Amino acid sequence: MADSDRSRLSVALVDVADGRVAAFLALARDFEAMLVRKGYGTAEMIRDEAQPLRFYAVRHWTDAASAQACHADADVQALTARLFQIARVTQVVNGVGRQEPRRLLLDNQRSAVEADRRTGFDRRVKDVGRPAGNRRASKDRRLGPRRLRDRPGEVDLVGAARRARENADAAFSQFKVGAALEAADGTVFTGCNIENASYGLTICAERVAIYKALSEGHRVFTRVAIVADTASPTPPCGACRQVLWEFGGNLEIQLANLTEERGKHRLKDLFPHPFDARLL
Protein backbone atom coordinates (compact mmCIF):
# COMPACT_ATOMS: atom_id res chain seq x y z
CA MET A 1 0.00 0.00 0.00
CA ALA A 2 2.87 2.39 0.75
CA ASP A 3 3.95 2.27 -2.89
CA SER A 4 0.50 3.03 -4.28
CA ASP A 5 -0.46 6.45 -5.64
CA ARG A 6 -4.14 5.94 -4.98
CA SER A 7 -5.99 8.39 -2.75
CA ARG A 8 -5.48 7.72 0.95
CA LEU A 9 -7.80 8.17 3.90
CA SER A 10 -6.87 9.15 7.45
CA VAL A 11 -9.29 9.47 10.36
CA ALA A 12 -8.57 11.00 13.76
CA LEU A 13 -10.73 11.13 16.86
CA VAL A 14 -10.73 14.63 18.37
CA ASP A 15 -11.96 15.27 21.92
CA VAL A 16 -12.25 19.02 22.46
CA ALA A 17 -11.89 20.66 25.87
CA ASP A 18 -15.09 22.07 27.31
CA GLY A 19 -15.69 25.63 26.17
CA ARG A 20 -13.21 25.45 23.28
CA VAL A 21 -15.45 24.16 20.49
CA ALA A 22 -15.66 27.50 18.68
CA ALA A 23 -11.87 27.87 18.69
CA PHE A 24 -11.52 24.28 17.48
CA LEU A 25 -13.96 24.75 14.59
CA ALA A 26 -12.07 27.87 13.49
CA LEU A 27 -8.83 25.90 13.45
CA ALA A 28 -10.53 23.09 11.53
CA ARG A 29 -11.69 25.54 8.84
CA ASP A 30 -8.16 26.94 8.53
CA PHE A 31 -6.75 23.42 8.22
CA GLU A 32 -9.30 22.38 5.58
CA ALA A 33 -8.57 25.50 3.51
CA MET A 34 -4.82 24.95 3.80
CA LEU A 35 -5.08 21.35 2.60
CA VAL A 36 -6.94 22.42 -0.53
CA ARG A 37 -4.76 25.47 -1.17
CA LYS A 38 -1.53 23.47 -1.01
CA GLY A 39 -2.87 20.52 -2.97
CA TYR A 40 -2.48 17.99 -0.15
CA GLY A 41 -6.08 16.83 -0.34
CA THR A 42 -9.39 17.60 1.37
CA ALA A 43 -10.70 17.34 4.92
CA GLU A 44 -14.01 17.34 6.72
CA MET A 45 -14.99 17.45 10.37
CA ILE A 46 -17.87 15.24 11.55
CA ARG A 47 -19.44 15.82 14.94
CA ASP A 48 -20.47 12.89 17.13
CA GLU A 49 -24.16 13.44 17.81
CA ALA A 50 -24.00 11.46 21.06
CA GLN A 51 -20.98 13.36 22.43
CA PRO A 52 -20.97 17.06 21.53
CA LEU A 53 -17.28 17.52 22.39
CA ARG A 54 -16.15 14.70 20.12
CA PHE A 55 -15.38 15.07 16.41
CA TYR A 56 -14.02 12.85 13.67
CA ALA A 57 -11.42 14.47 11.43
CA VAL A 58 -11.50 12.77 8.02
CA ARG A 59 -8.68 13.59 5.61
CA HIS A 60 -8.63 12.46 1.97
CA TRP A 61 -5.03 12.74 0.77
CA THR A 62 -4.14 13.24 -2.88
CA ASP A 63 -1.52 10.51 -2.47
CA ALA A 64 0.99 9.23 0.09
CA ALA A 65 3.60 11.83 -0.91
CA SER A 66 1.10 14.66 -0.34
CA ALA A 67 0.30 13.37 3.13
CA GLN A 68 3.97 13.17 4.05
CA ALA A 69 4.58 16.66 2.70
CA CYS A 70 1.63 17.94 4.74
CA HIS A 71 3.00 16.42 7.96
CA ALA A 72 6.38 18.10 7.32
CA ASP A 73 4.83 21.49 6.45
CA ALA A 74 5.74 24.16 9.03
CA ASP A 75 2.40 25.97 8.53
CA VAL A 76 0.50 22.76 9.22
CA GLN A 77 2.63 22.00 12.28
CA ALA A 78 1.91 25.46 13.67
CA LEU A 79 -1.84 24.83 13.35
CA THR A 80 -1.41 21.41 14.94
CA ALA A 81 0.42 22.90 17.90
CA ARG A 82 -2.54 25.21 18.54
CA LEU A 83 -4.94 22.28 18.22
CA PHE A 84 -3.12 20.22 20.86
CA GLN A 85 -3.62 23.04 23.36
CA ILE A 86 -7.41 22.64 23.22
CA ALA A 87 -8.04 19.03 22.20
CA ARG A 88 -6.84 15.47 22.49
CA VAL A 89 -6.22 13.83 19.10
CA THR A 90 -6.22 10.04 18.66
CA GLN A 91 -5.29 8.58 15.29
CA VAL A 92 -7.82 5.91 14.27
CA VAL A 93 -6.99 5.22 10.62
CA ASN A 94 -3.64 6.15 9.12
CA GLY A 95 -3.33 5.12 5.50
CA VAL A 96 0.02 6.81 4.92
CA GLY A 97 2.13 6.58 8.06
CA ARG A 98 5.09 4.26 8.47
CA GLN A 99 5.64 2.27 11.65
CA GLU A 100 8.20 4.03 13.85
CA PRO A 101 8.44 2.08 17.13
CA ARG A 102 10.91 4.50 18.68
CA ARG A 103 8.59 7.51 18.46
CA LEU A 104 7.94 8.78 21.96
CA LEU A 105 4.92 9.37 24.14
CA LEU A 106 2.10 10.96 22.15
CA ASP A 107 2.80 9.24 18.85
CA ASN A 108 2.48 5.93 20.64
CA GLN A 109 -0.69 6.85 22.50
CA ARG A 110 -2.35 8.22 19.35
CA SER A 111 -1.63 5.10 17.29
CA ALA A 112 -4.89 3.38 18.26
CA VAL A 113 -8.08 3.87 20.22
CA GLU A 114 -8.13 1.59 23.24
CA ALA A 115 -11.33 -0.40 23.47
CA ASP A 116 -11.51 -0.37 27.25
CA ARG A 117 -12.61 1.75 30.18
CA ARG A 118 -9.54 3.93 29.98
CA THR A 119 -10.56 5.55 26.69
CA GLY A 120 -12.00 9.07 26.79
CA PHE A 121 -12.35 11.79 29.38
CA ASP A 122 -15.31 10.10 31.03
CA ARG A 123 -13.50 7.40 32.98
CA ARG A 124 -14.76 9.01 36.17
CA VAL A 125 -17.90 11.10 36.24
CA LYS A 126 -17.51 12.10 39.88
CA ASP A 127 -14.35 12.83 41.86
CA VAL A 128 -14.48 10.51 44.86
CA GLY A 129 -11.08 11.54 46.17
CA ARG A 130 -8.10 9.41 47.07
CA PRO A 131 -6.76 8.21 50.42
CA ALA A 132 -3.75 10.01 51.87
CA GLY A 133 -0.46 8.54 50.78
CA ASN A 134 -1.88 6.93 47.67
CA ARG A 135 0.95 6.54 45.17
CA ARG A 136 -1.27 7.89 42.39
CA ALA A 137 -1.10 11.37 43.96
CA SER A 138 2.51 11.86 42.80
CA LYS A 139 3.01 14.21 39.86
CA ASP A 140 6.29 12.54 38.95
CA ARG A 141 4.96 9.10 38.06
CA ARG A 142 6.11 7.70 34.75
CA LEU A 143 4.11 8.93 31.80
CA GLY A 144 2.23 6.18 30.01
CA PRO A 145 -0.31 6.36 27.18
CA ARG A 146 -3.27 6.41 29.58
CA ARG A 147 -1.90 9.17 31.81
CA LEU A 148 -1.16 11.38 28.83
CA ARG A 149 -4.90 11.46 28.19
CA ASP A 150 -5.79 12.92 31.58
CA ARG A 151 -6.35 16.35 30.03
CA PRO A 152 -6.42 17.51 26.41
CA GLY A 153 -3.14 18.85 25.11
CA GLU A 154 -1.31 18.37 28.42
CA VAL A 155 2.04 16.61 28.81
CA ASP A 156 4.09 16.41 32.01
CA LEU A 157 7.13 17.94 30.36
CA VAL A 158 8.87 18.63 33.68
CA GLY A 159 8.42 15.01 34.71
CA ALA A 160 9.98 13.87 31.44
CA ALA A 161 12.95 16.20 32.02
CA ARG A 162 13.41 14.84 35.55
CA ARG A 163 13.60 11.31 34.24
CA ALA A 164 16.01 12.32 31.48
CA ARG A 165 18.28 13.88 34.12
CA GLU A 166 18.79 10.46 35.66
CA ASN A 167 20.74 9.43 32.53
CA ALA A 168 23.16 12.38 32.67
CA ASP A 169 26.88 11.62 32.49
CA ALA A 170 28.36 14.33 34.71
CA ALA A 171 31.53 12.59 35.93
CA PHE A 172 33.48 15.85 36.23
CA SER A 173 31.02 18.50 37.41
CA GLN A 174 28.57 16.18 39.23
CA PHE A 175 25.94 18.67 37.99
CA LYS A 176 23.20 16.69 36.27
CA VAL A 177 20.63 18.39 34.03
CA GLY A 178 17.62 17.02 32.18
CA ALA A 179 15.60 18.61 29.38
CA ALA A 180 12.39 17.75 27.56
CA LEU A 181 11.42 19.47 24.30
CA GLU A 182 7.88 19.37 22.89
CA ALA A 183 7.47 19.42 19.11
CA ALA A 184 4.47 20.98 17.41
CA ASP A 185 2.80 17.60 16.88
CA GLY A 186 3.09 16.78 20.60
CA THR A 187 6.10 14.45 20.37
CA VAL A 188 8.49 14.87 23.31
CA PHE A 189 12.26 14.58 22.93
CA THR A 190 14.43 14.37 26.03
CA GLY A 191 18.09 15.07 26.66
CA CYS A 192 20.67 15.10 29.45
CA ASN A 193 24.11 16.65 29.75
CA ILE A 194 27.00 14.46 28.56
CA GLU A 195 30.46 15.47 29.78
CA ASN A 196 33.80 14.63 28.21
CA ALA A 197 37.39 14.51 29.48
CA SER A 198 38.08 17.09 26.80
CA TYR A 199 35.80 19.63 28.45
CA GLY A 200 35.01 21.53 25.27
CA LEU A 201 33.25 18.46 23.86
CA THR A 202 30.71 18.44 26.69
CA ILE A 203 27.13 18.98 25.48
CA CYS A 204 24.20 20.32 27.47
CA ALA A 205 20.84 18.61 27.97
CA GLU A 206 18.95 21.21 25.95
CA ARG A 207 21.08 20.72 22.86
CA VAL A 208 20.90 16.94 23.12
CA ALA A 209 17.08 17.19 23.12
CA ILE A 210 16.81 19.57 20.19
CA TYR A 211 19.39 17.73 18.07
CA LYS A 212 17.49 14.49 18.62
CA ALA A 213 14.30 16.21 17.49
CA LEU A 214 15.93 17.76 14.43
CA SER A 215 17.45 14.42 13.43
CA GLU A 216 13.94 12.93 13.44
CA GLY A 217 12.69 15.58 11.00
CA HIS A 218 10.96 17.99 13.40
CA ARG A 219 11.32 21.70 12.76
CA VAL A 220 8.59 23.38 14.84
CA PHE A 221 8.65 23.37 18.66
CA THR A 222 6.45 24.83 21.40
CA ARG A 223 8.23 24.57 24.77
CA VAL A 224 11.11 23.04 26.67
CA ALA A 225 11.47 22.03 30.32
CA ILE A 226 14.85 22.12 32.09
CA VAL A 227 15.50 20.40 35.42
CA ALA A 228 18.51 20.53 37.77
CA ASP A 229 19.01 19.72 41.44
CA THR A 230 19.25 23.35 42.58
CA ALA A 231 17.17 25.54 44.86
CA SER A 232 17.14 28.37 42.32
CA PRO A 233 16.12 28.00 38.67
CA THR A 234 18.80 26.84 36.23
CA PRO A 235 18.23 28.56 32.87
CA PRO A 236 19.93 27.37 29.67
CA CYS A 237 23.48 28.52 29.03
CA GLY A 238 24.30 31.01 26.28
CA ALA A 239 25.13 28.34 23.70
CA CYS A 240 21.86 26.53 24.35
CA ARG A 241 19.89 29.78 24.14
CA GLN A 242 21.42 30.40 20.73
CA VAL A 243 20.60 26.91 19.46
CA LEU A 244 17.08 26.96 20.92
CA TRP A 245 16.43 30.33 19.30
CA GLU A 246 17.86 29.23 15.97
CA PHE A 247 15.56 26.20 15.71
CA GLY A 248 12.71 26.95 18.11
CA GLY A 249 12.21 30.70 18.13
CA ASN A 250 10.48 32.26 21.11
CA LEU A 251 9.89 29.01 23.00
CA GLU A 252 8.30 28.73 26.41
CA ILE A 253 11.02 27.78 28.91
CA GLN A 254 9.90 25.85 32.00
CA LEU A 255 12.45 25.71 34.83
CA ALA A 256 12.21 23.24 37.69
CA ASN A 257 14.18 21.31 40.28
CA LEU A 258 13.54 17.81 41.60
CA THR A 259 10.49 18.77 43.65
CA GLU A 260 8.80 21.82 42.15
CA GLU A 261 8.51 24.09 39.15
CA ARG A 262 10.49 27.30 39.53
CA GLY A 263 9.09 29.51 36.81
CA LYS A 264 8.17 29.94 33.16
CA HIS A 265 9.78 32.34 30.71
CA ARG A 266 9.77 33.11 27.02
CA LEU A 267 13.11 32.60 25.34
CA LYS A 268 13.00 36.19 24.10
CA ASP A 269 13.14 37.36 27.73
CA LEU A 270 16.22 35.23 28.45
CA PHE A 271 17.84 36.05 25.09
CA PRO A 272 16.74 39.59 24.19
CA HIS A 273 19.24 40.25 21.38
CA PRO A 274 19.75 36.97 19.52
CA PHE A 275 22.01 36.44 16.55
CA ASP A 276 20.14 34.78 13.70
CA ALA A 277 19.77 34.68 9.93
CA ARG A 278 18.31 38.20 9.87
CA LEU A 279 21.79 39.55 10.62
CA LEU A 280 23.56 37.66 7.85
DSSP 188-249: EEEEE-B--SSGGG-B-HHHHHHHHHHHTT---EEEEEEEES-SS-----HHHHHHHHHHH-
Q: Are 61 and 7 in contact (CB under 8 A)?
A: yes
Q: Determine the Cα–Cα distance for residues 135 and 145; give it in Å rounded to an integer.
A: 18
Q: What is the dihedral of CA 235, 240, 245, 247, to 10 degrees?
A: -130
Sign of the CA dihedral with 164 first, then 167, 170, and 175 last:
positive
**Catalytic-residue membership of 206:** yes
Taking the chain, what is the end-to-end CA distance rounded to the nearest angstrom?
45
Going by C-alpha positions, the residue among 242, 274, 278, 235 that lies closest to residue 256 is: 235
Residue from 32, 49, 195, 206 carrying the catalytic annotation = 206
Going by C-alpha positions, the residue among 271, 138, 145, 160 that lies closest to residue 225 is: 160
Cα 55 to Cα 45, 64, 138, 181: the distances in Å are 6, 24, 32, 28
DSSP 43: E
**Measured at the alpha carbon of residue 258, what is the angle toward residues 201 and 235, in degrees to the nearest 5?**
50
- Active site residues per annotation: 206
